[in-house]
Amino acid sequence: MKKQKSRMGGGKIMASLILLLGSLAYVMVFAVINGSLGFICSMGVTVFGAVGVAKALGEQIALSYGWIIGLAVGLGALRGGLRFIEQYCNHYIAFKLLAVLRDKIFTALRRLCPAKLESKQKGSIIAMLTSDIETLEVFYAHTVSPICIAITVSTAVFLFVGFVSSWWLSLVALAGFIAVGIVAPMISSSAMRDAGVKYRACFAAFNAYFLDSIKGIKDIVLNNAGDIRKKEVSERSEELLDHTHELKYKIANATAVTEFTVSLMTLIATGVAVALAVAGVISVGKAVIGVVAIFGSFGPVIAISALPGNLTQTFASGDRVLRLLKEKPVVEKVENGEKFSFENLEVKDMSFGYEKDAKVLEDICMRARRGEIVGIVGESGCGKSTLLKLLMRFWSKDSGEINYNGNEIEKVDSDNLLDNVTMVSQTTYLFDETIEENLRIAKENATDEELEKACRQASIHDFISEMPEGYKTRAGALGDNLSAGEKQRIGLARAFLRGSGLILLDEPTSNVDSINEGIILKSLAEQKKDKAIILVSHRESTMAIAERVYRIENGKIAEVR
């Protein structure tokens, strides 16, 4: 297993996430411009109020009262329009991004599968597809633009107060913005981060435990372990509540610190303005305008002061998504590789291990050709399924050769390989679609006759026909009512439908009674005329139809019949 690399730095994650935006970045810039202008307009309403007051106090102001009121009202209305455009852009980005990110992750997964989905990180992939993407949506829609808006608005206020009122007041405003937007969040964030991390870890663990308990409820009831589970659930729920309290307490503290800083800074600004006016440095009117402008300008920095709690989580999500997008697949897809039409398979001295230094299979030699049924037996866990997956190139062998018609497997065109070799794995997944659609994933344009023929060969046609809607019955509607054997036979029917030259069957009849097994084996025997079939099974009765049988033991293979 590769060692988990430590997390990238916050700045680097943020930069990489912004690069992912692509052309949506322009929309974001447009949203930031509108958001900033909107904020400035809303401040304009109060500032023009102050201008009116300043004029009444005798300040020389070229605008008439009519103009002042008109401008204030006009800016108010404009603020509405700009806010609408900003919100529209932000939501446009957010929803587009959900689609773009999901698409990128699915593309990455397609590259990485199937090895990736077999790994132990399966759970984290599901988390990524759901919660990480949602978190990132919040990042794009509600983190980047508030930061940009805060910087733009603060700069605008700094310049406005400086030019119109006094640069001393401007400096007070600047100190306020830094205190509220940077210093206060930094002080409270370290305390909040710990509480946030603990809360989220506890929340995730609780969810996982609860979900696991629901999935396994049948086994809980069968083992009469309900009371123990219930006790554990309520203990975990208490623990979660404690963490929630702690986090809320810290958030409330942080909010109080922010509010206090804002009040303090406005108080200082008022004091400085009064002192400047008294000293005759600026007129009373200018002092009023400056103070009112500062009063209304803390909104954007308050918005960023609320961010740090989310940012740790955002960076963790961003890190996971970026890492997945960059991950190299265990097996690279071969495009425009060599093509073949299956005649024979030859495996020579092939070795493989999922982890370095722990070989599952060693020096495997085996062969199969058109017209043969080849059996593979061995104890549970000896590597039978692993061998079949290597023949499909779901994983890459470490050494030795796997040749199809003399072509080295690593050079064979990946799509061509999947057309030539079909595998029925130990468990068949049925989609929540009709039985017919479930079969058609093997061959999209199969005729009804072909479907029926494949189902007869897999000894499942009669069962399907007896259902109220036959082939149109939804598999999901049957829920767990399809037995393991029935699912297995639908899996077999899919394989027959594909019509590949080599079929790999992993325990195809383990859950099937002997009458149905007989039917399936008979159709396998009929099909072998123009195919090769490699059959993994524990059953002696199944192995009876094989021309040749290999046994895997302690990683080695031997021809036993």
Ligand X SMILES: Nc1ncnc2c1ncn2[C@@H]1O[C@H](COP(=O)(O)OP(=O)(O)OP(=O)(O)O)[C@@H](O)[C@H]1O
What are the residues binding ligand X (CB under 6 A)?
Answer: 118-119, 354, 360, 378, 380-386, 426
For residue 131, what is the DSSP state?
I
Q: How far is the CB of 538 from ligand X (least distance, A)?
A: 7
What binding mask, one character per residue, do residues 328-367 give for Mg ion by CB under 5 A, x or -? ----------------------------------------
Give the one residue of 16, 385, 396, 527 binding Mg ion; rule: CB under 5 A: 385
Q: Which of 371, 416, 370, 359 is nearest to 392 (CA)?
A: 416
Cβ proximity to ligand X, 127 vs 330, nearer residue: 330
Q: How far is the CB of 306 from ligand X (least distance, A)?
A: 43
Cβ proximity to ligand X, 291 vs 549, nearer residue: 549
Phi first, then psi: what are they for 429, rounded to 5°?
-95, 130
Q: How far is the CB of 353 from ligand X (least distance, A)?
A: 8
What binding mask, one character per residue, do residues 501-540 give for Mg ion by CB under 5 A, x or -? ----------------------------------------
Q: Which residues does 276 contact at the CB level (< 8 Å), separation at least 6? A: 166, 168, 169, 282, 287
Residues composing the chain: 561
Q: Which does 154 bind (CB under 5 to 8 A by kind): ligand X, Mg ion, none?
A: none
Q: How far is the CB of 259 from ligand X (least distance, A)?
A: 53
SS3 532: strand
Cβ proximity to Mg ion, 304 vs 382, nearer residue: 382
Q: How far is the CB of 128 from ligand X (least distance, A)?
A: 19
| Paired tokens of 445 | 């344009």
Q: Which does 308 bind (CB under 5 to 8 A by kind): Mg ion, ligand X, none?
A: none
Q: Which does 108 bind (CB under 5 to 8 A by kind): Mg ion, ligand X, none?
A: none
> Cα–Cα distance between 371 and 350 in angstroms, integer?
24
- Are residues 248 and 242 in contact, defined by beta-carbon separation less than 8 angstroms? no
Cβ proximity to ligand X, 87 vs 426, nearer residue: 426
3-state secondary structure 480-516: HHCCHHHHHHHHHHHHHHHCCCEEEEECCCCCCCHHH
| Paired tokens of 308 | 């740090």
Q: Which does 360 bind (CB under 5 to 8 A by kind): Mg ion, ligand X, none?
A: ligand X
Q: Which does 46 bind (CB under 5 to 8 A by kind): Mg ion, ligand X, none?
A: none
Residue 263 host element (H or E): helix 226-278
Cβ proximity to ligand X, 119 vs 414, nearer residue: 119
Radius of gyration (C-alpha) of the chain in whole angstroms:
34
Q: How far is the CB of 507 from ligand X (least distance, A)?
A: 7
Count of residues engaged in binding Mg ion, rule: CB under 5 A: 1
Q: Which does 439 bind (CB under 5 to 8 A by kind): ligand X, Mg ion, none?
A: none
> Cα–Cα distance between 446 and 162 in angstroms, integer?
77
Q: Which stretch binds Mg ion (CB under 5 A): 66-74, 156-164, 383-391, 413-421?
A: 383-391
Q: How far is the CB of 313 from ligand X (least distance, A)?
A: 30
Cβ proximity to ligand X, 66 vs 381, nearer residue: 381
Q: Which stretch binds Mg ion (CB under 5 A): 168-176, 358-366, 385-393, 398-406?
A: 385-393
Going from the C-alpha of 204 to that of each of 198, 212, 309, 468, the distances in angstroms are 10, 12, 17, 42
Residue 240 host element (H or E): helix 226-278
Q: How far is the CB of 554 from ligand X (least distance, A)?
A: 12
Q: Which does 383 bind (CB under 5 to 8 A by kind): Mg ion, ligand X, none?
A: ligand X
User: Strand 344-352 to strand 556-559: parallel, antiparallel, or no bridges (unpaired)?
Assistant: unpaired
Cβ proximity to Mg ion, 227 vs 355, nearer residue: 355
Q: Which of 531, 536, 543, 526 is nearest to 557 (CA)?
A: 536
Q: How far is the CB of 426 from Mg ion (least distance, A)?
A: 5
Site for Mg ion contains 396 (CB under 5 A): no
Cβ proximity to Mg ion, 224 vs 380, nearer residue: 380
Cβ proximity to ligand X, 46 vs 121, nearer residue: 121
Interface positions, 453-482, toward Mg ion (CB under 5 A): none
Q: Which does 118 bind (CB under 5 to 8 A by kind): ligand X, Mg ion, none?
A: ligand X
Q: How far is the CB of 515 from ligand X (least distance, A)?
A: 24
Phi first, then psi: what are they for 558, rounded to 5°?
-140, 140
Q: Which does 396 bind (CB under 5 to 8 A by kind): Mg ion, ligand X, none?
A: none
> Cα–Cα distance between 519 and 541 in angstroms, integer?
13
Burial group, residue 157, by CB count within 10 angstroms (0-12, 13-18, 19+): buried
Cβ proximity to ligand X, 210 vs 354, nearer residue: 354
Q: Which does 386 bind (CB under 5 to 8 A by kind): Mg ion, ligand X, none?
A: ligand X
Cβ proximity to ligand X, 413 vs 517, nearer residue: 517
- The DSSP annotation for 349-406 comes to EEEE-SBTTB-SEEEEEEEEETT-EEEEEE-TTSSHHHHHHHHTTSS--SEEEEEETT
> Cα–Cα distance between 383 and 553 in angstroms, integer?
9
Q: Which of 559, 506, 542 is nearest to 389 (CA)?
A: 506
Interface positions, 179-218, toward Mg ion (CB under 5 A): none
Q: Which does 294 bind (CB under 5 to 8 A by kind): Mg ion, ligand X, none?
A: none
Cβ proximity to Mg ion, 385 vs 405, nearer residue: 385
> Cα–Cα distance between 259 and 375 in angstroms, integer?
75
Q: Which does 433 bind (CB under 5 to 8 A by kind): ligand X, Mg ion, none?
A: none
H helix and E strand count, the chain: 23, 10
Cβ proximity to ligand X, 286 vs 389, nearer residue: 389
Direct distance between the N- and C-terminal alpha carbons of the chain, in angstroms, rounded to an integer: 37
- Are residues 47 and 63 in contact, defined by beta-carbon separation less than 8 angstroms? no
- Are residues 332 and 397 in contact, defined by beta-carbon separation less than 8 angstroms? no
| Positions in the binding site for Mg ion (CB under 5 A) | 385
